[in-house]
Amino acid sequence: MLSTKTAARTLVALVVASLAAIAMSATASGASATTITIWTDKDRLAAVTKVANAWAASKGATVQVVQKDFGQIRDNLKTVQTETAPDVIVGAHDWIGELSANGSIVPLFPSTATKKQFPAYALDAFSYGTAIKKLYGAPVALENIALVTNTKLAKVPTTWAQLQASALATKKKTKAAVGISVQQGSGGDAYHMYPLFSGLGGYIFGKNSAGNLDPSNIGLANPKFLKNAALIDQWNKLGLIRSSVDSSISQDLFLKGKTAFWFTGPWNLDTLKKSGLSFRISPFPAIVKGTKAVPFLGVQGFMVTKFAAAHNVESLAKDLVSSYMMQSGPQLELALANGRFPANLTAAKQVKDPQLKAFGAASAGGVPMPNIPQMNSVWGDLGAAWVRSTKGAGSIPAKRSFIGASRSIAQKIG
Amino acid sequence: MSSGQATARTASGVKVPPPSLLARALPAFSGTTGLVIKLVLLAVVNAIGLWALVALLADESWIAALCVLAATLAIDAVYLLPVRGLIPLKFLVPATVFLIGFQLIPIIYNASVAFSNWSTGHNLTKEEAIQTIEEASLAQPANGAFYTMTPARDESGNLTLLLVEEGSGKTFAGNEDGLEPLAASDVTVANGAITGAEGYHVLQGDELAGIDEQLATLVVPAGGKTFVRAEGLSTALELQPTLRYDPTRDTFTNIETGVVYSDNGNGAYADPQGQEIDQGWRTGVGFANFKDVFTNPLVRDPFVSAFAWTFTYALLSVVFTFFAGLFLAIALNHPGLRFQRFQRSVLILPYAIPAFLSLLVWRGLLNDDFGVINNILPVDVPWLFDPFWARVSCLLVNFWLGIPYMFLICTGALQSIPGEMTEAARVDGASSLQVFRKLTLPLLLVAVAPLLIASFAFNFNNFNAIYFLTQGGPYGEHQSVAGATDLLVSYTYKVAFQTGRGGDYGLAAALSILIFLIIGTISAITFIRTKALESMA
């Protein structure tokens, strides 16, 4: 009996010692000094892996690409532990205000020659700082929505009057409840409504004397927009747009030929091509004289996180992001593999796909989504203002609705 | 399970039933096998403890390390020391560990967040924030030089940057002591970069891997406040700070304008006008978040309206689904009913489909202009876009989702009420209604009351049912953060992720503590009243 116990004790000591040794070695090994960890989403995974591996081979480094849900990349970065944290993330430009205020990403300094290869707004979209503006990411791809016309049902409109007339004629013919496929839903969708918002003279944040977005200058209820706001009530009465159209309904209506126009982006190009419809992609026509109706611009890019320094790969990571990824070759490869327009101007010239080029053309004059963190207070209220005024019977006049939203946003920003 | 086993026979030929599964399994946990299982499990616990200890020591979290050490030793003692008094602990320890791990620590953590200003821009420690501000204040001076860079080592092994200035093509060697021009005759330049230099060893391939940290932090003084630093592996540039940190006064000073930024007590450096530097840090703010909930109209108004709706929603959901479920249970409990099993199965179907799926289907069905309900029925109700009707929709859909559950538990509870009692009551001359009110319902409530309380708490926090159906919308004209159908929990979610500068975890944690207190109070009161019910029965 005693011998069993002694044996047991010895066994415990042995097992504990060995497991402890395993545990210690696991802690010690951690991240190897020459591995760069990249977080990206499912759509871009294959392309990023390919492009990053081509770079790593020449540097004697290895790349570990981790797939994350797009929005999770931003959220997880706030709470991730250093051991499992990424050195580089692929994300959207409108994250950088929040990420840099949180100290999660580091400024980049590409050469002037490199910066010259990019449109000014793409670099500006990735720059943030209330006192000194800094570049926090390498832009790689651009995306925006455009006007998609079903050419069997309507001519590509060059004026708003044409668009409205065709939309209403189709609506009458197909007995659809709405004339244009533009998505909202009960939560609202300020992004897809932006061409209409900007076309009526609305803006989100004005700029201060230093050229920075000014969160105290909110343009939801600026006089010009309010003057034109009656048009929204008119559209609502005519059934041109409806808040009950959500993303799946807007797609369904257009693909089934119930509506002649769809406001959508390059992410639906495959769906459009597979549908067999004859369609054209074009810029939005101006709604009121002298004001362009433009979409929001989204810029995707690579960013270096604060964790790169802790992992001793900061120079490597910066080499990947601010030198390699900004070149035209990798940009073209990455953008095309993902069905987006590359940010690098030289690469952009080499895009052959006519549809992708058409989306690029529709971006002219577009406004990058504000990247200041206060934008988080805007999305919900701006979307809700549209919903309140375009829900058919029982809608609130647009003027009142947008003034209310503007006040609410101002309060939330404080 | 045991039906497949051959029935054992004793020597005398008397049949004995096979031992139960538990009885057969128990011996496996005693004797040598049991000892080995115990030791292996214990070793796993020790290994986890040791791993945590090493990690905590590396992190210099002394107190936490001490706690882990003490806990691990205590667990070992309980299971290894042959002391009789420790036997009850053997059963208590696992439960306690899980209680601490999954209940207490999250609650304590949540509480610690609630008393902090953790939000966008207040995400770092103060030291990290100072470092980040210094880094973010670096700027390229006007006409600052940009270089193509090659890392190298000089004869004494010091890391040196071999530089070719962009534009002029001048060559330099830079180290901690400063920049030194290199004669063009001493260097080989290819593709604009130095590939070899007299007296220097150019680093290549694997040699680059080890120097990353050194390279990233090497500062080459370049006269005045400016310095040259590597950017990646092949470029370098001139930089100069715009803010200077003064550790003795704990302030930042703008070098150009002289503006002083000092600690404003809220986890940020601010100038005299109150303009804060973007990067701040997490710090305790006492009861400020709780105060906000009650005094700041921006937080209070949505909170109050969401609270009123949440309470109504949870209460109506429980009351209605309970009575509807009870009615169906009684109806289907009737002995003479045909296809009883089939009818019961059909009723349970909504419960068997994943709720988020049926919620999305309902969202489609209820759509004001395109939904089946408005198109088929001769009605035109703004189901999802009118604040009042959206609330009605949320309730109706939740009834649909909740009735099967209530039906199930009521059916079960009804079976447990002895038929003799109701029969006796009948014989005594009670009407059906009297039997139900005076006998069946009280007996039933004793069994299901705790479940009703749980159901109330569940619906109080029924995030999915709202988020998948309406996302909290529609928003009335004067509603901001919380929409017409936002429950407290979805309102809290919006506060945490969609307000101000993109997230206020401190305030959201304070709100979640308030929700906990509300549900806790309601549950406690109801439980006490249920006790009274029990003694009555």
Rounded percentage of chain B residues whose pLDDT exceeds 90: 34
CB-based contact A368:A93 (threshold 8 Å)? yes
Question: Which residue bears the tokens 């109070």?
Answer: B521
Supply the pLDDT for residue B155.
87
* Band of pLDDT at residue B422, cut at 50, 70 and 90: confident
CB atoms near residue A386 (< 10 Å): 26
Distance from CA of B114 to the nearest CA of A (A): 16
Average pLDDT for residues B235-239, to the nearest whole number?
92
Q: Determine the Cα–Cα distance for residues B124 and A317; give it in Å rounded to an integer.
A: 22
Distance from CA of A221 to the nearest CA of B (A): 14
In A205-313, alpha helices (H): 223-228, 230-238, 247-255, 269-275, 307-310
Average pLDDT for residues B365-369, to the nearest whole number?
88
* Pairing outcome for strands A261-264 and A180-181: parallel
Is the confidence at residue B384, as pLDDT, over 60?
Answer: yes
Supply the pLDDT for residue A29.
47
Q: Determine the Cα–Cα distance for residues B29 and B343; give it in Å rounded to an integer.
A: 46
For A188-228, what is each residue's pLDDT tens digit?
Answer: 999 999 999 999 999 999 998 878 899 999 999 999 999 99
Among A4, A306, A315, beta carbon nearest to B215: A315
* Band of pLDDT at residue A32, cut at 50, 70 and 90: very low
Q: Determine the Cα–Cα distance for residues A411 and A405; give it in Å rounded to an integer.
A: 10
Question: Which residue bears the tokens 């703008």?
Answer: B254
Residues of B in contact with A376 (CB under 8 A): 120, 497-503
CB-based contact A74:A23 (threshold 8 Å)? no
The pair phi, psi for residue B320, each rounded to 5°, is -65, -50
Is the confidence at residue B5, as pLDDT, over 50?
Answer: no
Is the confidence at residue B480, as pLDDT, over 80?
Answer: no
Q: Determine the Cα–Cα distance for residues B129 and B113; give it in Å rounded to an integer.
A: 18
What angle do helix axes A328-337 and A42-59 make, rounded to 10 degrees?
150
Q: Does the beta carbon of A392 lie under 8 angstroms from any beta carbon of chain B?
A: yes
Question: Which residue bears the tokens 């989306």?
Answer: A359
Considering only CA atoms, which of A193, A183, A147 is closest in space to residue A382? Answer: A193
CB atoms near residue A202 (< 10 Å): 24
Considering only CA atoms, which of A113, A240, A57 is closest in space to residue A164? Answer: A240
CB atoms near residue A403 (< 10 Å): 17
Question: Is the bond preceding B474 in cis, omega lying within 30 degrees of 0?
Answer: yes
Mean pLDDT, chain B, integer: 86
Among A61, A130, A400, beta carbon nearest to B209: A61
Q: Does the beta carbon of A80 lie under 8 angstroms from any beta carbon of chain B?
A: no
Rounded percentage of chain A residues whose pLDDT exceeds 90: 67
Position with higher pLDDT, B522 vs A2 = B522
B163 DSSP β-pair partners: B149, B172
Supply the pLDDT for residue B501.
73
* Band of pLDDT at residue B477, cut at 50, 70 and 90: confident
What pTM did the predictor assign? 0.83
Supply the pLDDT for residue A305.
95
Residue B203's identity, in one-letter code, is: L
Q: Which DSSP helix (H) or strand (E) runs through A401?
A: helix A398-413
CB-based contact B110:B513 (threshold 8 Å)? yes
CB-based contact B216:B230 (threshold 8 Å)? yes
Q: Determine the Cα–Cα distance for residues B206 and A126; give it in Å rounded to an integer.
A: 33
What angle do helix axes B387-415 and B297-332 make, rounded to 10 degrees?
40
Q: Determine the Cα–Cα distance for residues B447 and B373; give it in Å rounded to an integer.
A: 38
Lowest mean pLDDT: which of A42-46, A199-203, B1-5, B298-302? B1-5
DSSP designation for B61: -
Supply the pLDDT for residue A13.
57
Q: Name the closest residue on chain B to residue A6, using Cα atoms.
A: B80
CB atoms near residue A105 (< 10 Å): 26
CB contact under 8 Å between A243 and B385, yes or no, is yes
CB contact under 8 Å between A34 and B209, yes or no, is yes
Considering only CA atoms, which of B468, B363, B347 is closest in space to residue B400? Answer: B347
CB-neighbour burial class of residue A363 (10 A; exposed 0-12, middle 13-18, buried 19+) = buried
CB contact under 8 Å between A401 and B477, yes or no, is yes
Distances (CA, A) of A254 to A93, A155, B15, B383: 30, 15, 76, 24
Among B123, B215, B384, beta carbon nearest to A102: B123
Q: Determine the Cα–Cα distance for residues A258 and A170; give it in Å rounded to an integer.
A: 7
DSSP designation for B273: T
Under DSSP, is residue A131 helix (H, G, I), strand (E, B) or coil? coil
Q: Determine the Cα–Cα distance for residues A287 and A281; give it in Å rounded to an integer.
A: 18
Mean pLDDT, chain A, integer: 89
Supply the pLDDT for residue A319.
92
Q: Does the beta carbon of A267 lie under 8 angstroms from any beta carbon of chain B?
A: no
* Band of pLDDT at residue B456, cut at 50, 70 and 90: very high
Residues of A in contact with B55 (CB under 8 A): 27
Rounded percentage of chain B residues whose pLDDT exceeds 70: 94
Rounded percentage of chain A residues whose pLDDT exceeds 70: 92
Supply the pLDDT for residue A6.
57
CB atoms near residue A57 (< 10 Å): 11
For B107-127, what is each residue's pLDDT tens digit?
Answer: 899 999 999 999 888 989 999
CB contacts under 8 A, A 193-252 vs B, are 242-246, 248-249
Residue of A6, A32, A81, A109 to mutate, interface with B, max B Cβ within 10 Å: A109
Supply the pLDDT for residue B10.
46
For B281-305, what is each residue's pLDDT tens digit?
Answer: 999 999 999 998 899 888 888 899 9
CB atoms near residue A19 (< 10 Å): 19
Supply the pLDDT for residue B336.
78
CB contact under 8 Å between A323 and B42, yes or no, is no
Average pLDDT for residues A119-143, to the nearest whole number?
90
Supply the pLDDT for residue A335.
84
Considering only CA atoms, which of B267, B289, B285 is closest in space to residue B128? Answer: B267
Residues of A in contact with B478 (CB under 8 A): 404
Residue of B149, B191, B480 to mutate, interface with A, max A Cβ within 10 Å: B480
Supply the pLDDT for residue B12.
53
CB atoms near residue A5 (< 10 Å): 12
For A306-335, what is each residue's pLDDT tens digit?
Answer: 999 989 899 999 999 999 999 999 999 988
